[in-house]
Structure 1
Amino acid sequence: MSAKKNKPSSNRSSFKGSTSGSSDKPRRKDGHKSAKPGSGKPNRRSRPGREDEFESPSPGEFTKPKHTSSPKRRSKLPGSAPKNPDSLTFASSSDRAPRQAFVSQTTVNAPTDSPEADADLLYGRHSVLAALEGDRTLNRIWITSRLRYDPRFHPLLIQAKAAGAVIDEVDHRRLSQLTQGANHQGVVAQAAPYEYLEFEELVLKAKNSEDLPLLIAADGITDPHNLGAIIRTAEALGAQGLIIPQRRSVGITSTVSKVAAGALETFPVTRVVNLSRALEQLKEEGFWIYGTAANAGNPVHQVKFDRAVVLVIGSEGEGLALLTQRHCDALVSIPLSGRTQSLNASVAAGMVLYEVFRQRWSNTVHLDTFTSKSATEYNKA
């Protein structure tokens, strides 16, 4: 009986394993059984440029990858804090470099013909015309060629140039750049800073007026559009001037001048440190102080404004300050019938101003009896 030759088992069959539990299964060098193919732990293939990291195992052998370099701990960065907090040292304030004044540098480096260089920019035909006709100094004027030779502007521009103003003929694009897209109407002027009138001079001017003295005081008006509208309405209805505090109130800016539409050239404005003290001084000069308040005081049409009057207008949001109300002789209100319980500050000022103007004008002209027939007879006479 011839012995049957057993075929030598290949390495591939050794990876598959057998159920007989033979000891011919290849083992790893560490004594553990090798993983089956497809078990999720295959040998990592070598990649281009990484031949030095891994070596392909021989058939039937599973080896750990050989790393040529071990991970190193990252070195401390320059300036990192030490482990011992007691060893911390702090630099004195004299060792620190001074901070740069970014805002001041921006102001210095701004071009001379930009809005940042001078906030007193006037734009709009009415505002610039009033400035040319008034006593305000103009340093530079930007104007379109079409408007430069307009009969209203041309002679005034000649006078301004003789007084030292620079006249630049530009296009609308340049004007829009100067005004940051505002409605310039073809002309922009750079004026000297606004000169506020002294408080004593304003009081004297109001008392020497031919009409009954009427002054406006703005308490907490921070919106330049509101302040400009108040100035425009007050000048149109015969007021002699405006009083604003230095704090919690907007000053005379280019926006105020634009909204006032030239009224600032003939309407004086004074700025006081303490509004309450100024109101007390006005009382000593014979003025009566009336403050506007919502849903408080007497209706405005029931108050007689037949004396020297100061109207104090508060902001729409907060109204008159409590300290300002204490210095008022009386508070007046505007009757409202709608759901809206407050009015814009400039609108409220205009309504109260018109009531003062109506009472004084009606006492002079007698509007109730002045009909069209009597006007015709008056013209014939």
Structure 2
Amino acid sequence: MARQLIYGQHAVAALLEGDPAGVQELWLQDGRDDAVSERARDLAARHGISLRAVPRATLDRMLKGARHQGIAVRYRATRATRASDLEQLLAGLGDTALLLVLDGVQDPHNLGACLRSADAAGADAVIVPRRRAVGLTPAVYKAACGATERVPLVTVSNLAEALRRMAKSGVRLIGAGARAGIPYTQAELLGPVAMVLGGEGRGLRRLSAELCDQLIHVPMRSGAESLNVSVAAALCLYEVRRQRARNEAGEGLRGAG
């Protein structure tokens, strides 16, 4: 993976904590004296990372006007998750496996938000195609607010084949579309599940939809076009959590009886 300039407080903090070996240089805006900066300085010193204090104008120029919050690093991932890891991922999944599959998301802010939702919902991984989709860009790191260091992002060359491999391993594929199938709260989402969502604009591709075991949608009022993919992903992932929590509570009551 090529070196990238990653910026933003949460993104930089997550890299310094989670993958310091990949951080090659840290830049802090002159005059920053807060808890985030102090922690960044400590971690840089601990791991032998070069630290430079620079004027805000320098960061603005380096990052082409991005909202950097006065902190940035030069980073090269040391443990990128690639397609070859899909089999290993599937082999390690249990009865409560939860995956998020994104079929062609191209907006870095949407991918970052989906990673945050997957992290919060306890998903095991996010799976994306290599082509016609955004990868791990600096904007994704910033939007993900550290989730990139906690949720594996698995990139596959052939998404349809990856879906078939998931199904063969016992994962149920649940495809979400604007008006497909049944309302998402009516689907049974217990057991190993992969929520499959399409990209901006076109939604879930035909082949991906055909490979799914069930199709669902989030009900909307008449006239509404569709939900943002990151919002739909959050709703679907948390519906899985809600159903599982309710199921566990019911089993607990039966056991107590």
What's the TM-score once normalised by structure 2's chain length? 0.88
Which residue is equivalent to 2:143? 259
Residue 138 of structure 1: which of 23, 28, 33 is its match? Answer: 23
Alpha-carbon contact 2:118-2:237 (below 8 Å) kept: yes
Which residue is equivalent to 1:285? 169
Which residue is equivalent to 2:117? 233
Which residue is equivalent to 1:109? none
Q: CA RMSD in A?
A: 2.1
Q: What is the Cα deviation at residue 119 of structure 1?
A: 6.0
Q: What is the Cα deviation at residue 174 of structure 1?
A: 1.5
Q: Tell me whether 1:360 sits opposite 2:244 in the alignment.
A: yes
In structure 2, C-alpha distance between the alignment counterparts of 1:263 and 1:365, rounded to whole Å: 29
Which residue is equivalent to 1:103? none
Q: Tell me whether 1:165 sits opposite 2:49 in the alignment.
A: yes
Gapped regions of structure 2 (runs ≥ 5): none
Identity of aligned pairs, percent?
A: 38
Q: Structure 1 counterpart of 2:44, which letter?
A: A
Runs of 4+ with >4 A deviation:
none
Q: What is the Cα deviation at residue 290 of structure 1?
A: 0.6
In structure 2, C-alpha distance between the alignment counterparts of 1:152 and 1:342, rounded to whole Å: 38
Residue 202 of structure 1: which of 85, 89, 93 is its match? Answer: 89
Alpha-carbon contact 2:173-2:194 (below 8 Å) kept: yes
Matches within 5 A, 1:13-32: none
Q: What is the Cα deviation at residue 276 of structure 1?
A: 0.8
Residue 176 of structure 1: which of 41, 60, 66 is its match? Answer: 60
Alpha-carbon contact 1:119-1:253 (below 8 Å) kept: no
The number of aligned residues is 246
In structure 2, C-alpha distance between the alignment counterparts of 1:325 and 1:341, rounded to whole Å: 19
In structure 2, C-alpha distance between the alignment counterparts of 1:363 and 1:344, rounded to whole Å: 29
Bigger shift: residues 190-199 or 119-128? 190-199
Q: Structure 1 counterpart of 2:181, which letter?
A: G
Question: Comparing both chains, which one has the higher relative contact order based on Cα–Cα distances under 8 Å and sequence gaps of 6 or more?
Answer: 2
Gapped regions of structure 1 (runs ≥ 5): 1-117, 370-381
Q: What is the Cα deviation at residue 282 of structure 1?
A: 0.9
Q: What is the Cα deviation at residue 145 of structure 1?
A: 4.2
In structure 2, C-alpha distance between the alignment counterparts of 1:146 and 1:262, rounded to whole Å: 24
Structure having the higher strand fraction is 2
Structure index of larger Rg: 1
Alpha-carbon contact 1:279-1:327 (below 8 Å) kept: yes
1:17-49 per-residue CA deviation (whole Å, 9 max, x = no partner) reads: xxxxxxxxxxxxxxxxxxxxxxxxxxxxxxxxx
Which residue is equivalent to 1:313? 197
Which residue is equivalent to 1:273? 157
1:281-311 per-residue CA deviation (whole Å, 9 max, x = no partner) reads: 1111110001111212011000011110001
Which residue is equivalent to 1:350? 234
What's the TM-score once normalised by structure 1's chain length? 0.61
Q: Tell me whether 1:224 sits opposite 2:108 in the alignment.
A: yes
Q: What is the Cα deviation at residue 142 of structure 1?
A: 0.5
For 1:313, what is the secondary structure of its paired residue? strand
In structure 1, C-alpha distance between the alignment counterparts of 2:73 and 2:153, rounded to whole Å: 21
Q: What is the Cα deviation at residue 186 of structure 1?
A: 1.5
Alpha-carbon contact 2:124-2:151 (below 8 Å) kept: yes
Q: Tell me whether 1:189 sits opposite 2:76 in the alignment.
A: no
Alpha-carbon contact 2:174-2:193 (below 8 Å) kept: yes
Alpha-carbon contact 1:120-1:193 (below 8 Å) kept: no
Alpha-carbon contact 1:316-1:342 (below 8 Å) kept: no
Q: What is the Cα deviation at residue 217 of structure 1?
A: 0.8
Q: What is the Cα deviation at residue 173 of structure 1?
A: 1.6
Q: What is the Cα deviation at residue 155 of structure 1?
A: 4.8
Q: Structure 1 counterpart of 2:27, which letter?
A: W
For 1:283, what is the secondary structure of its paired residue? helix
Q: What is the Cα deviation at residue 260 of structure 1?
A: 0.3
Structure having the higher helix fraction is 2
Q: Structure 1 counterpart of 2:218, which letter?
A: I
Q: What is the Cα deviation at residue 152 of structure 1?
A: 4.3
